[in-house]
Amino acid sequence: MKTFLLQFFTWWSGQTIGTRFHTWRFGELVGTDEFGNTYYQTIGGKVDPQIGVVRRWVIYKDRTEATLTPPGWVGWLRNTSPLPPTQDGYAPREWEKPHVPNMTGTPFAYRPQGSILSTGERPAATGDYEAWSPTGQPVGARPTEGEISRG
């Protein structure tokens, strides 16, 4: 019952009822990645007349998170590779780093130096910045007597 309700009311926790029905009716399983995500295309690799290419999609194992799609499968999903990585012998390059999930909104998110959310002290200003002022004088400077009498 929980799975049904999640599929009926949410899109971020896997597939929806509509996606499940569409996949059952028009989908052909192509493969699975190391994260447990499953990849589909239209039955028989038929070109979809609405988009002009074979329709391809992914159903995520747990939560819907695009950063959980490996590079080989991304190329196949975007139709830049005609064959899925399971058929073309895709192997990651030596310079590719292992997957790291999107940490935005978590305590492990990237916080550059100077961010109000980063830990530690903010670096001191370098003194090379001068704020704009409508009078043309530096901010904090006292107005002259002529400026006071005009004002």
Q: Structural domain of residue 86, as residue ranges? A: 19-104
Is there a domain that residue 69 lies in? yes
User: How far from chain centre, in Å, is Cα 32?
Assistant: 21
Structural domains of the chain, count: 1
Provide the token pair at 104.
Answer: 């935005």
Let me know if residue 136 belongs to a domain: no
Q: Does the pTM exceed 0.75?
A: no
Which tokens is 112 given?
């550059």
Tell me which range, 4-8, 15-19, 79-83, 141-145, is most confidently predicted by mean pLDDT. Answer: 79-83
pLDDT of 29 strictly over 70: yes
Residue 117 included in any domain: no
- Look at residue 151 and tell me if it is in a domain: no
Asked if the structure places residue 86 within a domain, the reply is yes
Is residue 142 assigned to a domain?
no
Of 10-14, 78-82, 113-117, 144-148, highest mean pLDDT = 78-82
Q: What is the CA angle 100-31-9, rounded to 5?
A: 70
- pLDDT recorded at residue 77: 92
Place of tokens 């999640």: 6
What are the tens digits of pLDDT across the range 44-61? 888 888 888 889 999 888
